[in-house]
Amino acid sequence: MTNFSGHTRRATLVGGAALAALALAPSIAFAQAASAKVDEKELMAPNALPDVVVGKADAPVTIVEYASLTCSHCATFHNEVYPELKAKYIDTGKVKFILREFPLDALAAAGFMLARCSGDKREAVAELLFKQQKNWAFVDKPLDALEATLRQTGMSAETFKKCLDDKELYQNVVKVNRRGAEKFGVSSTPTFFINGERRIGTIALADLDKILAPLVDKK
């Protein structure tokens, strides 16, 4: 089993042939707020895994988040900020939101793989894993806890194992991770791109309001 910087013990507890292949990007849990503009066309170019877009395809504002399912700051955003963001901006057609895989350890990679194996439930599964993060990511037997959590979605033990043994899927998760790091300077989670402007670290709704208002008003 590959050891992942900053999460070595947890990584060694995760099984599945697909999870032993490659190292992920450096593990940095949180960084101070910073911003930089990236090429939006390149940011939105096809990835190794297709983007799952939440919201109207022609929304004037696009938020891309690179996150890790084992990142507590990512969980805070998804549990406390995202529901209000969705109600106020996404459901009203002002923003479309894309969550991209940036696992900081093998367990997070496993979670993302299982979310992808859930088909059209991918977003719901990711949100479930953020919501119940403490119940599966920070326990003595995380893989067993992860399987128990996925059982809530109707996933069978057979599907669970088959998914984690999918080497191609794992490689694609890693490719998304590496592209984020190499092309867009992602090194910590969460990292957001709001119409191509990079914002590092979790963002409160009040701060999002300040960022989004002028972008929405332009349209």
* CATH number of the domain bearing residue 64: 3.40.30.10
- H helices of 132-204, in order, are 133-136, 142-151, 157-164, 167-184
Which of 25-29, 186-190, 191-195, 204-208 is predicted with the least confidence, judged by mean pLDDT? 25-29
Give the number of domains in the chain: 1
CB of 192 closer than 8 Å to CB of 208 = no
Q: Report the distance separating Cα 66 and Cα 88, nearest Å.
A: 21
Place 36 in a pLDDT band, splitting at 50, 70 and 90. Answer: confident
Q: Is residue 188 part of a domain?
A: yes
Q: Is residue 212 part of a domain?
A: no
Q: What is the pairing mode between strands 61-67 and 191-194?
A: antiparallel
For residue 212, what is the enclosing H or E element? Answer: helix 205-217
pLDDT at residue 24, as a whole number = 53
3-state secondary structure of 130: helix
pLDDT at residue 215, as a whole number = 93
Average pLDDT over residues 36-62: 96
Q: Is 22 or 175 the better-scoring residue by pLDDT?
A: 175
Count CB atoms within 10 A of the CB of residue 177: 26
pLDDT at residue 60, as a whole number = 96
Note the Cα 218 to chain centre separation in Å: 29
What phi and psi values does residue 56 have, to the nearest 5 degrees? -70, 135
Query: For residue 64, what are the domain limits?
Result: 8-200
Q: Is residue 74 part of a domain?
A: yes
Over residues 132-170, the pLDDT tens digits come to 999 999 999 999 999 999 999 999 999 999 999 999 999
Q: Is residue 16 part of a domain?
A: yes
Q: Is residue 3 part of a domain?
A: no
pLDDT at residue 1, as a whole number = 28
What phi and psi values does residue 198 have, to the nearest 5 degrees? -80, 135
pLDDT at residue 27, as a whole number = 38
> What percentage of residues in the chain have a pLDDT greater than 90?
82
Q: Is residue 103 part of a domain?
A: yes
Over residues 106-116, the pLDDT tens digits come to 999 999 999 99
> What percentage of residues in the chain have a pLDDT greater than 70?
83
Q: Is residue 217 part of a domain?
A: no
For residue 214, what is the enclosing H or E element? Answer: helix 205-217
Q: Is residue 167 part of a domain?
A: yes
